[in-house]
A = this chain, B = another copy of it.
Amino acid sequence: MVETQTVPESDAGRGDSKLNDFSLAVATANGTGSQTANLTLLRAFFKMGIPVHGKNIFPSNIQGLPTWYHIRVSRDGYVARSEPELLVAFNRATIREDVATLPDGAAVLANADLKYEFERDDLLSYRLPVKELLEGTEAKGKLKDYLANMTYVGALAQLLGVPLSVIEEALGFHFGRRQKLVASNMAIVEASFGYSEREFTKRDPYRVAPMSATEGLIMMTGNEAAALGSVFGGVSVAAWYPITPSTSLIDALRGYLAELRTEEDGSASFNVVQAEDELAAIGMVVGAGWAGARAMTATSGPGISLMAEFAGLGYFAEVPAVVWDIQRVGPSTGLPTRTSQGDVAFVYNLGHGDTRNVILFPSSIEECFEFGVKSFDFAERLQTPVFVLSDLDLGMNNWMGRPFEYPAEPMDRGKVLSAAEIDERGGFSRYLDNDGDGVPYRTLPGNSDPRSAYLARGTGHDEHAVYSERPEDWRHNGERLARKFDSARRLLPEPILDEPEGSTLAIVAFGSTRYAIEEARDRLAVAGLTSAFLRLRALPIGEKVREFVGRHDRIAVVEMNRDGQLCAILRGELPEFATRFESIAYLDGMPLTAEWVSARLDELAAGDRKGEQSG
């Protein structure tokens, strides 16, 4: 994302409050191709240099159900969800409700063919005769529906002040070399732009003007960033099973790998296999990790549930593996196309017995890339499955970000012994804690030293990987694994801290909720409430977290789930500070808004003050 400071002072006069600072929603039906229109608008704002972000609020279906696309333009660089003030009403099924929920003085660009009578007179509305505008084209059926969406692009461009040239650029970005498509789309855009120019008299305050705030930035989805990161992390095996919202990660991965890892002779230095289910997918990943490849899978809740047994095997046999969980709303099949942070507790000890897993929490496309790379280093260094918990909002939507930094460090392949090294050492014991960090040495199949061979297993074993039921062998091995987990605390990415002077409230959160939280903190600061913020980037927690908690006596743990999962984990791991944590947990499938977060934080602070007064 764009830290506020990176946004140059808007060249648009601050007086004009809605200039480059509003949210719009496009309401259409699923499967009519409105995505192209929406992404064109999004890209256009971006190319104008205006900080912008789009959220696709779509149904779990392929065609015909209501779908919304939210775009927020923010000269200050805020990208959290905020309630739309400008509505593009192109769906008969939802227009009544869409209009009803608009704030006072909102504006509506409606498809005139819906013949909808507005009950509210506080709204500014524009009616676009879509059929009429399409009469020119001889397009039919699906293509016609699709082009129909281009009409609102043209009209909006005119109403908001987006130059046609920028729309054309944006279409160019979308269609790449396919110039004919750009042309055919522009035709419609120009037609409706013209119509709007002629027929509409602008009365609403929503306008855009060029800025330079997005200069040098990129815009992509978290899943694309994760895929790209994985490629630069050296992934060579991926096994997966399709599931929303993780599918686009693998789609991107297949694309990048085909582009970047195909040899001259057309052979592939990678293999991506679509498994028969997630149980098989994780099995392939564990098998590949054991045999020495950097292997990954991507899934969501239901897939995570099916991976439990193999996760436990990976933990116990100590096999590197990377699992991306693009979280959606659960329990069960839940809401497949809505976002959540609901798998934290389950993934943290996924697997029966005393299984404990390493978790990474990316919060931006930069971190999706960064963790895409580093997850493999961690997995191989620690010889354990590493779970990267992203979510639908971060993964499937387009976000601004700084261009990704090429990995500074070479790959860390961990403690793998070659035949030569075994010879030097005069042997090898698979599960011996040579270094005191709980991390043993391993060898790969194919190692020509006979002493390198061992039989990996999920059953009790001694330090030489030989089957053992001896109580002391079990205990020692378990204690070593616990030591290893503590080593992880020192190895994993540290939290990001922001602790301004005089903070009266502290916040702990992770992942994509940061945007609503950061905006909320700015608002509260203006209102005189200064807060400290720790953005957790990994589990298990390390010293930095303990110290932060030690410094603050009221800590709000903000998360997008019902049960306050991270809050319970922190209380369990930091009992001495358990009473300092306040759970602010919420889940309804929609990303948090700054309004909501600041209100909750305000209540909490108020509660404090009351506490002080009464006590």
Contact A312 B330 (CB under 8 A): yes
Q: What bracket does the count of chain A residues touching chain B fall in? A: 35 or more
- Contact between A332 and B346, CB atoms less than 8 A apart: no
Stretch at the interface among A516-524, A530-538, A565-573: A565-573
Query: A485: nearest residue on chain B (CB-CB)?
Result: B563
Q: A333-B459, A469-B335, A578-B579 are in contact. Are A352 and B301 (CB under 8 A)?
A: yes
Complex CA–CA separation, A575 to B574 (angstroms): 10
Q: Smallest CB–CB gap between A433 and chain B, Å?
A: 16
Which residues of B are found within 8 Å of A353, using beta-carbon distances? 301, 329-332, 334, 340, 342-343, 346, 561
- Tell me the A452-481 residues at the B interface (CB within 8 Å): 457-460, 469, 471-472, 474-475, 478-479
Contact B354 A342 (CB under 8 A): yes
Task: Please tell me if the beta carbons of A475 and B306 are within 8 angstroms of each other in the complex.
Answer: no
Q: Could you tell me if B59 and A335 are in contact, using CB atoms closer than 8 angstroms?
A: no
- The reply to whether B305 and A351 contact each other, CB–CB distance below 8 Å, is yes
Segment at the interface with B among A21-29, A204-212, A585-593: A585-593
**Which residues does chain B contribute within 8 Å of A589, judged by CB atoms?**
460, 469, 471, 474
Q: Which chain B residue shows the least CB distance to A310?
A: B305
Interface residue? A308 (CB, 8 A): yes
Find out whether the CB atom of B351 lies under 8 angstroms from the CB atom of A562: no
Interface centre among A316, A458, A575, A576 (most CB of B within 10 A): A575
What distance in Å separates the Cβ of A59 from its nearest Cβ neighbour in chain B? 6
Does A418 count as interface, using CB distance less than 8 angstroms? no
Q: Is the CB of B352 within 8 A of A343?
A: yes
Q: Which residue of B lies closest to A65 (CB)?
A: B469
Which of A561, A565, A586, A587: most chain B Cβ within 10 A?
A: A587
Q: How far is the CA of A351 from the CA of B581 in the complex (A)?
A: 25
Name the CB-closest residue of B to A306: B309
* Residue from the set A316, A352, A563, A586 with the largest chain B CB neighbour count within 10 Å: A352
Q: State the Cβ distance, A387 to closest chain B Cβ, in Å.
A: 12
Mark A569-613 against chain B: 1 for CB-CB distance below 8 A, else 0.
Answer: 101110110110100001111100000000000000000000000
Q: Which residues of chain B come closer than 8 Å to A309, judged between CB atoms? A: 302, 305-306, 332
Judged by a CB distance under 8 angstroms, whether A317 is at the interface is yes
Structural contact, A349 and B356, CB atoms closer than 8 A? no
Q: Once the chains are docked, how many angstroms separate the CA of A298 from the CA of B405?
A: 52
Taking CB atoms and an 8 Å cut-off, the chain A residues in 197-218 that contact chain B are none
A354 contacts B458, C-beta separation under 8 Å: no
Pair B568/A573 contact, Cβ less than 8 Å: yes
Contact B332 A312 (CB under 8 A): yes
- In the bound complex, residues from chain B placing their C-beta under 8 Å from that of A460 are 329, 334-335, 589
B residues near A304, Cβ cutoff 8 Å: 352
Per-residue CB contact flags for chain A residues 73-116 toward chain B (1 = under 8 Å, else 0) read 00000000000000000000000000000000000000000000
Contact, CB under 8 Å: B315 / A331: yes
A63 within 8 A of B: no
Q: Chain A, 287-322, contact with B by CB distance < 8 Å: what is the 0/1 string? A: 000000000000001101110110011011100000
Q: Is the CB of A333 within 8 A of B457?
A: yes
Q: Roughly how many angstroms separate A342 CA and B351 CA in the complex, as a whole number?
A: 10
| B316 and A475 form a contact (CB under 8 A) | no
Interface centre among A306, A354, A569, A587 (most CB of B within 10 A): A354
- Complex Cα distance, B345 from A346, in Å, reads 9
In the bound complex, residues from chain B placing their C-beta under 8 Å from that of A221 are: none
- 27 A–B contacts, CB within 8 A, in A order: A301-B312, A301-B353, A305-B312, A305-B351, A317-B332, A330-B351, A330-B355, A331-B352, A331-B355, A333-B457, A334-B353, A335-B469, A340-B353, A345-B349, A346-B351, A347-B352, A354-B563, A354-B565, A356-B563, A471-B588, A571-B571, A571-B578, A572-B572, A575-B578, A575-B579, A576-B579, A578-B579
9 tightest Cβ-Cβ pairs between the two chains A and B: A330-B353, A332-B458, A578-B578, A301-B352, A568-B572, A471-B588, A331-B353, A575-B578, A305-B309
Q: Given known contacts A301-B353, A338-B469, what 7 new A-B pairs fall within 8 Å (CB)?
A: A59-B469, A305-B312, A305-B351, A331-B458, A346-B350, A568-B573, A569-B572
